[in-house]
Amino acid sequence: MSGGTITQLRRGVVGPCILALLADGPRYGLQLGRELEAAGELLTSQGTLYPLLNRLSEANLVTSRWELAEAERPRRYYEITEAGRRELAEFRRDWSAFAGSVSDLLDRAGPTGEEPA
């Protein structure tokens, strides 16, 4: 897949992926970044993560708090809100139908994008 195409796809799904990770429990920013990177091609850089977390916070989909631990530097933990859970549930419903439609269309088009004979 070309870089431009994957960038466009990533733009629409990284926010809901962050909400999905936070649905399992609070995480700090670096932890979220590592999990998104481990999932494969979901995060281009840590520099794109924090502006997205800020947008999710401004939309009241996540909250954050600073946590101090002995012998460690302070970490900002993010947590999903009830509004974030509703948004994630809606995305899951929409994603399932959307991904199924795209898969069906691509399967009909064949491996090269041409109609099968």
pLDDT of 110 higher than 80: no
pLDDT of 115 higher than 70: no
Handedness of CA 22, 27, 32, 38 (dihedral sign): negative
Q: How many CB atoms lie within 10 A of CB 61?
A: 24
| Contacts made by residues 4-7, CB under 8 angstroms, sequence distance 24+ | 6/41, 7/44
pLDDT tens track for 56-89: 999 999 999 999 888 888 999 999 999 999 999 9
pLDDT tens track for 9-47: 777 899 999 999 999 999 999 999 999 999 887 887 778
Q: How many CB atoms lie within 10 A of CB 26?
A: 16
Q: Determine the Cα–Cα distance for residues 61 and 80; give it in Å rounded to an integer.
A: 6
Q: Is residue 25 a contact partner of residue 41, using CB atoms and an 8 Å limit? A: no
- Can you give the pLDDT at residue 34? 93
Which DSSP letter does residue 61 get?
A: S
Claim: this prediction has a pTM higher than 0.95? no
- Can you give the pLDDT at residue 116? 54
**Domains of the chain (ranges, CATH numbers):** 3-109 (1.10.10.10)
Q: Is residue 19 a contact partner of residue 87, using CB atoms and an 8 Å limit? A: yes
